[in-house]
Structure 1
Amino acid sequence: MKLQVINSPFSEEQVKLLNELLPKLTVEQKFWLNGYLSAPQATIDGIVEEVPTAVTPVTKTVTILYGSQTGNSQGLAEKYASTLKQNDVEVTIASLAKFKPNNLKKTTNLLLVVSTHGEGEPPDQAIQFYDFLHSKRAPKLDHLHYSVLALGDSSYEFFCKTGQDFDEQFAKLGATRIAPRVDCDLDYDEPATQWFSSVQQELIQHTNDTPVPEQTTVVQGKSTYSRKNPFTAEVLENINLNGRGSNKETYHIELGIEGANFSFEPGDSIGIQPENEESLVDALLTSLQFDGQEKVTVFDESLTVKEALQKKLEITVLSKPLLQKISTFTVHKDFSKLLEDDTARKEYIYGRDLLDVIEDFAPFTWDAQQFVTLLRKIPARLYSIASSQKANSDEVHLTIGKVSYETNGRVRQGVCSGNIAERIQVGDTLSIYVHPNQNFRLPEQEDTPIIMIGAGTGIAPYRAFLEEREELGINSKSWLFFGDQHFMTDYLYQTDCQRWLASGTLSQMDVAFSRDTDKKVYVQHKIEEHAAAIYDWLEQGAVIYVCGDEKTMAADVDRTIHRLIEQQGQKTAEEAKAFVNELKQQKRYQRDVY
């Protein structure tokens, strides 16, 4: 819009200059100019060369909270906080573990990014806040405006339940939604962006009556590689760590990352973008009676059906939502019964894949395009980094256990682990990216004692921890509990551990090999044996780390730790639970479980 000379205090020459300048100004520059010209005249006259530090007056304050187990929620929260700050919104960002619930009374605008852990449970750092909000102590929140972004995995029955619970409870307490909750699957980029765009419209555009930039690029680190743009890493080494006769196959993988400009710390993970096994894809196409060369559109990309099924779409994991989508394309009576019976459905899903469904419940009425539209993207597989970047600057090491089992008369393999075990050779490449995990970190103070508990591939992050300590010359108290099946064949990284014990990098180690004796001995039994010493370490400020299978090993260890604190600390069960929750709040009980 051009200024008019009539009734204007500007000359024609000034109007011409203004008309040339104004269309070129950004929103932020217009805000600044408005604030600058509104300042007292004496202030303006006094400015000659110094650039004013004052910027656009803040019109909104927003609190962003995150509850994260693997770092996704935290990463998104930090990204959104940065974007809002660039649009002159005053932002406070915090973990749910650090946010005092009583501060809700002082909060006007709240954005919550939270994941769902396990079978519908809050992540560790969100437990106390979750319990508070659902307790009688929760305040009325009529003044609060909020929105929830929920992260989850639709292969679990209670998909995004934690986010849903928070959303419903805020509403019950009287709060008003800024924008509707969005539930995100593992491939969360697009729905999360749409959610944040809706939130931005309310927080910025409607308040300032100015356009909101469609997207603000946030630079994170030096690397240009990410989950959406993975780095192609060469496989430098691929060694089976288990000895001959072992029931397991555990692979030590070394990847070349020169030129990737990755930056990672012990505790972080590497994401690998996998592909489905070609023989499984061929069998699926045969059962579907599809022409593998037929073109379909998947995520706005034109591909052959075979390319889509092999490289883009998940075909090895069944879930209730997927079965519900499939039900619209079949009238098979047994399929309907399966959906109606939760127990039968769970039993059927366990260990089976999409090929089983096609073979068991044909015929179906879909065409190729309709079929591929039902499926989600193949999620990346995350593996804890097993090396220190300080010790191996151009490499990253992983510890990957092969998943293999037989169900319904057919041998199945893990999409990524099976590929690495059966097909990946030295010189081949893998598509990878760094996945930070701020919730699994070495202590900031080097003299803090650490207790590391893991079984099988759960030793991976501790190898990174100890390599880092070795490189930095740290010899403070450290204790490793490791478990596997057999001493002779399954003692992963035994040589490394012996070296660290000899050098003082690792001060104590206890091992449990469950199948070497008639009585099975697991890491939790070793913890019980040393209960008094472990409690003494906790009183000295030690940090406990647990890495491994969530449903068995990590759950058993958690129960053991609660019992240990109850007995050694002479506490009630409730007091022990509160003690453990306090450890989690202080990041003195950290878990990397899967």
Structure 2
Amino acid sequence: MAIKNTFSHPALDLSHQSYAILALGDKPYTHFCRFGQALDQHLKQHQAKAVFEMVCVDHLKQADLKRWTQGLEQLTQQQFTPVEQAQNWRAFMLKNRVCLNTGSQGKPIYHIQLSYAESTPRSSGDILEVQCGNLLEDIQAFLQVQQQIVNQDLLAALQFKNLSQIPEQLPNESFNDWIQRFDLLAIREYSIARIRSQPAFYLKPTQEPLILIGNGTGIAGLVAHLSQRQQWNEPQNWLIFAERQQQFDHLYKEQIQLWQAQRFLPEVDYAFSRDQSEKIYVQHILQQKSAQLLSGVEAGAAIYVCGSLKGMAQEVEQTLLSVLGAEQLVGLKP
């Protein structure tokens, strides 16, 4: 870890330095704001002085960001005005929804079709961010409990606020100031959506082989790439995919079989983990076909991984490291 090397000298004296740390993270991850915490620990070990305690921000929550702003205001004796980030949201309409894994042991997975009035530029590999909103009835009920008169300004102000987890109202704090401190609802699958570019996951038009590895709902990103490759008439594709049971979790089965019949997808390997006593996963396929994997990479193949960050992605990276070696693996990364 580079930070350890930076602070490795035991005689390093930072007693003349002051610092403040804003760490961004997501609490569902095991090591929440780990880098920020490690940096804070190393600075303190070498006698640097924190001007105020490190602020860990969970998923850009307003309450966490407010603590950072308050720390800066106390430090500088200035008042900061928050800058609202422009959100280029577009209105979509749900056209169709089909469950892809009826009977599965896991949570239901849906194929969703959305329609929209205006043209929306997009590429395979982009992420669709969906901002959920409160029902009108829920906002009205909240305002009634707070003994507030319902008007369009309050309805708009509360549309995307989390009304189930609200901060305590401060003494003499106005209602409008109070609701400004509410956290936003999480971005997920509801009502209004925008597309976020993800260039690191984009495909490049090339006749070289493509190796796609994934599990679960990660199949959506892989299918999108295969559709793009089909438009480019590039048939050297290898799909390695894992799910629970073939009977219930064979996602996009018909489309994949059609591509196979068209010889557009000549290589498909599945790892249905619960169809046998000994569980198998995508990393086991990679190990079993290590010679083919190495041959493909040497022929210029690109590798894309889409699915669970915990577990699958880590195991795949370790397997690629053991098969390809560190130098060749680094050369594959953008």
Do both proteins adopt the same fold according to a TM-score greater than 0.5, normalized to the shorter chain? yes
> How far apart, CA to CA, are the structure 1 residues paired with 2:84 and 2:145?
37
| 1:257-276 superposed matches below 5 A | 257-259=116-118, 261-275=119-133
Residue 434 in 1 paired to residue 292 in 2?
no
Alignment of 1:390-539 (within 5 A): 416=189, 430-442=191-203, 444=204, 446-475=206-235, 477-539=236-298
CA distance in 2, matches of 1:314, 1:295: 12
Rounded to whole Å, the distance in 1 between the matches of 2:163 and 2:199 is: 28
Q: Whole-Å Cα distance in 2 between the matches of residues 468 and 434 of structure 1?
A: 17
Alpha-carbon contact 2:62-2:181 (below 8 Å) kept = no
Q: Would you say the 8 A contact 2:61–2:183 is kept in 1?
A: no
Post-superposition CA distance 1:175-194 (Å, at most 9, x none): 9x9xx9976543479969x9
What's the counterpart of residue 286 of structure 1? none
Q: What is the alpha-carbon distance in structure 2 between the residues aligned to residue 533 and residue 257 of structure 1?
A: 43
Q: Which amino acid aligns with 2:254?
A: T
Deviations 1:185-213 (A, max 9, x none): 43479969x99xx9xxxxxxxxxxxxxxx
The whole-number CA distance in structure 2 between the counterparts of 1:554 and 1:378 is 28
Flag the structure with larger Rg.
1
TM-align CA RMSD:
4.8
Aligned to 1:13: none
Q: Map of 1:248-259 to 2, 5 A cutoff?
A: 248=106, 249-259=108-118
CA distance in 1, matches of 2:93, 2:58: 29
- The amino acid of 2:4's aligned partner reads H
Q: CA deviation at 1:156?
A: 5.0
Q: Which amino acid aligns with 2:249?
A: D
Using a 3 Å threshold, how does the CA distance of structure 1 residues 155 and 457 change in structure 2: closer, same or farther?
closer
Contact 2:216 2:308 in 1 (8 A): no
C-alpha change, 1:167 and 1:266, in structure 2 (3 Å) is farther
The verdict on how the C-alpha distance between 1:521 and 1:536 changes in structure 2, with shifts beyond 3 A counting, is: same
Give aligned pairs, total: 305
Q: Give 1:278 shift.
A: 9.8
Equivalent position SS for 2:125: coil
For 1:188 and 1:580, how far apart are their aligned partners in 2? 39
- Are the equivalent residues in 2 in contact too, given 1:271–1:433 (CA < 8 A)? yes
TM-score if structure 2 supplies the norm length?
Answer: 0.70
Q: What amino acid is the match of 1:256?
A: S
* Preserved CA contact (<8 Å) 2:90 2:193: yes
Aligned counterparts of 1:296 and 1:438: Cα–Cα separation in 2: 48
Q: Displacement of 1:314 after TM fit?
A: 6.8
Query: How far apart in 1 are the matches of 2:317 and 2:114?
Result: 33
Q: Secondary structure at the match of 2:201?
A: coil
Secondary structure of 1:518's partner?
coil
Residues 465-492 of structure 1, C-alpha deviation per residue, up to 9 Å, x if partnerless? 01111112222x3211112122232211
Q: CA deviation at 1:521?
A: 2.4
Which residue in 2 is equivalent to 1:302?
Answer: 154
What is the aligned partner in structure 2 of residue 230 from structure 1?
89
Instruction: Rate the CA distance shift 1:171–1:436 in 2: closer, same or farther, 3 A.
Output: farther
Mapped contact 2:132–2:187 kept (Cα < 8 A)? yes
Amino acid at match of 2:162: L
- Counting only pairs closer than 5 Å after superposition, residues 9-408 of structure 1 correspond to structure 2 as 131-135=1-5, 150-154=23-27, 156=29, 158-163=31-36, 165=38, 184-187=57-60, 228-243=87-102, 245-248=103-106, 249-259=108-118, 261-275=119-133, 293-295=144-146, 302=154, 308=158, 311-313=160-162, 315=164, 376-381=183-188
Q: Is the contact between residue 238 and residue 265 of structure 2 (CA under 8 Å) also seen in structure 1? A: yes
How far apart in 2 are the matches of 1:267 and 1:172?
43
Q: CA deviation at 1:273?
A: 0.9
| SS of residue in 2 equivalent to 1:135 | helix
- Is the alpha carbon distance of 1:534 and 1:233 closer, same or farther for their aligned partners in structure 2, counting shifts above 3 Å? same
Deviation at residue 371 of structure 1 after TM alignment: 9.3
Shift of 1:157: 6.7
Whole-angstrom distance in 1 between the partners of 2:147 and 2:213: 47
Aligned partner letter, 2:185: I
Going from structure 1 to structure 2, the CA distance change for 1:264 and 1:187 (only over 3 Å counts) comes to farther
Q: Which runs of 5+ in 1 are unaligned?
A: 1-130, 199-213, 219-225, 283-289, 317-321, 330-367, 382-415, 421-429, 566-575, 588-594
Map 1:541-560 onto structure 2 (within 5 A). Answer: 541-560=300-319
Q: Return the offset for 1:148.
A: 7.6
Mapped contact 1:486–1:513 kept (Cα < 8 A): yes
Contact 1:454 1:481 in 2 (8 A): yes
Q: 1:291 to 1:456 in 2, by over 3 A?
A: closer
Find the aligned partners of 1:373 and 1:229 in 2 and give their Cα distance. Answer: 20
Q: Sort the Cα spacing of 1:134 and 1:263 in 2 relative to 1 into closer, same or farther, 3 A.
A: farther
Q: Distance in 2 between matches of 1:551 and 1:158?
A: 12
Distance 1:499 1:241 in 2: 17
1:302 deviation in Å? Answer: 3.5
| Distance in structure 2 (CA, Å) of the matches to 1:441 and 1:174 | 45
CA contact (8 A) 2:24 2:60 kept: no
Alignment deviations for residues 32-68 of structure 1 (CA, whole Å, 9 cap, x no partner): xxxxxxxxxxxxxxxxxxxxxxxxxxxxxxxxxxxxx
Q: Between the two proteins, what is the percent identity of the paired residues?
A: 28
**SS of residue paired to 1:379:** coil
Corresponding residue SS for 1:236 = strand
- CA, structure 1 residues 438+474, in 2 after alignment: closer, same or farther (shift >3 Å)? same
Bigger CA drift: 449-458 or 157-166? 157-166
Change (3 A) 1:173 1:468: farther
